[in-house]
Structure 1
Amino acid sequence: MPEFASAALIVNARSRRGRKLFKRACTAMSGLPFPVDAHAVKNPKELEATLKRALDKRPDLVVLGGGDGTISGLVDHLVGRGVVLGVLPLGTANSFSRTLGIPIDVEGAVDVIRHGRRRRIDLGMIDGDYFANCAAMGISPQIAETVPHGLKKVLGRVGYLGWAAYQFVHFEPFTLIIDDGSGEKRMRVTEVRISNGPYHGGTWLVDDARVDSGEIVVQAVVGNYKLRLVRNWAASVIGSDVRHHDTVTFRGKSVRIATEPPLPISIDGELLAHTPVTAHIAAGIIDVMVPA
């Protein structure tokens, strides 16, 4: 285990579940051989400011608790600070944690901090914005961008899934224009994933993506029929290689991406950009705690 003099814990505690898991995390971390400056942040808009205040105390380790979006939204502030990242997976998909082999229960994740090792990894970038795991264009961002405010809160998961079904019926394939350095290519697609790791939405989808490969991987689900996207998702769940016949993969240190029409981009679950963009890899830019 690396020797740390101090650590900071920043948890997205917006939900009641998040606040409960924060208490569990504090209990689990109470036995660590160094002090932990712990913060439960109920308002997500205050996460960045809370992290910056914690960094002013110069901790050796910063543990971020939340989903993939929380980690991607805060990781920019850790780059170049000489701190090690710890991950406390408190989201729904927890794709970044799955990629790193970190257990998705609180006690298991804290055990990685206690007994794990440091690993140097890459981060993806959309233009100048770092992200941890995966960005996407297609039906998923369309659902997130158009869902009526409060629908999921009022009707729960059933309401959200109903809206997703409605959007899926009305969703149309789009044109991807991509250049990985070998010349511009155009194709009709139903989904595009820009990946620094193999997991997307908690499911293994992008075989070629690795957090230490030194390359960004762009996977396109091709074809004019939405059935291809359904088959691609289903095949990934059951582990069938059928999905490989429905995808085209590009990779490189920098890939230029545009779409017709311009589309929103979901970066680890948060709508943060629109095409056209350039996807980069920031190779070996941060240390993270992983299982020994």
Structure 2
Amino acid sequence: MANTSDPLLETETQAQPRCFRVIANARAGTVLEAGAASFARRIEVAFAAAGCRADVELVPPRRLQERLRAAVADEAVTTVVAGGDGSINGALPVLAGCKRPVGVLPLGTVNVLGRDLGLTGTLEEQISAICTGDPVAMDLGSVDGRLFHSLSGMGFFSLMARQREYARRRFPFSRLVAFLFAATRSILFTRSIRIEMEIAGERRQVEADAVLVTVNQFDGAEWRRSRLDGGEFEVHILDTGGLLSRAKAALSMLTGGWRNSHNLVSLTGTSVTIIRRDKRRGHVTFDGEVERRASPFTYRLVPGALNVIAARPAEIQPEPHPAEHMFPS
């Protein structure tokens, strides 16, 4: 049979750029600083420079899931959610159900997940990495169906998250001033919590300033995960025993020496149960988003629940974490 295909048509088809739909949190600091129109144009130009095409939607946080569902349903595009760790957290119920790879464009102050995916540098560099990146399967954590991608904390960590939100409104002109203000107040006003915890089949009673549950382990002194599919939780228990010790522990987080602190105990397991012994509802953070919940908190892994685009290994460069990575927003 004669070959009736049109070479010109095949060339045109092959030349079609990969299409993305970027759903961005309109309240993200990067968007507000640049202005909506300028931000959207910058994103479109950056994707075009990387050989791709992007449609950009700026939506308020309350409509994020709705617009993401519409984007995910369109098989002609690759969905990208743009925002901070909290915005990405809010998108998890939609993204975790997507069978195709999705992208993350970090726009927050800290961007724990973005850095773990190798998405660092300028916005243009991050977009280039998304266009040339490869999909990876990553684990999620769940507490009674409430998903999180990186961190969940209580005690000092939840107080720090709340203080940071207050400080940002009070000191919008300087992120550093806001951070130092929040850290000082958290050191001064943290009250120890008494919990019962079960991990790896071991039950223990703890009185601590803070408990942090992470999805997979952070490596060395940096708050960064080399594996997102390790299939385990790491639990950090910080028990300083006083104001001075708490200040020293905070300093060790700033200098990167937290792993060697004698006030810190780290454990690993595939499931974790935490019960507040005072039986009260307490503040808990999920990727920096603060909620008030009653215990028990039963943490379960959802292995490989999210298929997300990561930078190619050659593009992932080690980058020191700023101190704020302990308290993601």
Equivalent of 1:216 in 220, 230, 233: 233
Equivalent of 1:286 in 306, 319, 329: 306
Normalising by structure 1, we get a TM-score of 0.84
Equivalent of 1:236 in 246, 253, 260: 253
Structure with bigger gyration radius: 2
Q: 1:74 to 1:217 in 2, by over 3 A?
A: same
Distance 2:303 2:124 in 1: 30
For the 8 Å contact 1:188–1:223, the answer to whether it is kept is no
Counterpart AA for 1:272: E
Distance 1:77 1:178 in 2: 31
Which residue in 1 is equivalent to 2:99?
A: 82
Q: CA deviation at 1:51?
A: 1.2
Within 5 A, what are the aligned runs for 1:101-180?
101-145=118-162, 152-156=168-172, 157=174, 158=177, 161-162=180-181, 164-180=183-199
Give unmatched runs, 5+ long, in structure 2: 1-15, 313-329
Which residue in 2 is equivalent to 1:26?
A: 44
Equivalent of 2:56 in 24, 31, 38: 38
Counterpart AA for 1:68: D
Q: CA deviation at 1:64?
A: 1.2
Q: CA deviation at 1:140?
A: 3.4
Distance 1:165 1:106 in 2: 32
Q: CA deviation at 1:55?
A: 2.2
Q: CA deviation at 1:289?
A: 1.3
Q: CA deviation at 1:155?
A: 3.8
Counterpart AA for 1:25: I
Distance 2:125 2:147 in 1: 27
For the 8 Å contact 1:221–1:228, the answer to whether it is kept is no
Q: Per-residue displacement from partner, 1:192-232 (whole Å, max 9, x unpaired)? A: 111125569xx83488x841110111111124224344333
For the 8 Å contact 1:9–1:62, the answer to whether it is kept is yes
Which residue in 1 is equivalent to 2:23?
A: 10
For the 8 Å contact 2:216–2:231, the answer to whether it is kept is no
1:276 aligns with 2:296: yes
SS at match of 2:262: helix
For the 8 Å contact 1:134–1:193, the answer to whether it is kept is yes
1:190 aligns with 2:203: no
Give unmatched runs, 5+ long, in structure 1: none
Which residue in 2 is equivalent to 1:69?
A: 86
Distance 2:69 2:259 in 1: 46
Counterpart AA for 1:38: V
Q: Per-residue displacement from partner, 1:43-78 (whole Å, max 9, x unpaired)? A: 211111121222232355221111111111102211
Counterpart AA for 1:69: G
Distance 1:114 1:159 in 2: 35
Within 5 A, what are the aligned runs for 1:39-54?
39-41=57-59, 43-54=60-71
Distance 1:206 1:192 in 2: 18
Q: 1:8 to 1:228 in 2, by over 3 A?
A: farther
In the alignment of these two chains, the number of paired residues is 285
Q: CA deviation at 1:260?
A: 3.6
Q: Per-residue displacement from partner, 1:70-99 (whole Å, max 9, x unpaired)? A: 111102211232121212111001111122
Which residue in 1 is equivalent to 2:274?
A: 257
More moved, 220-229 vs 188-197: 220-229
SS at match of 2:94: coil
SS at match of 1:77: helix
Q: 1:143 to 1:249 in 2, by over 3 A?
A: closer
For the 8 Å contact 1:13–1:22, the answer to whether it is kept is no
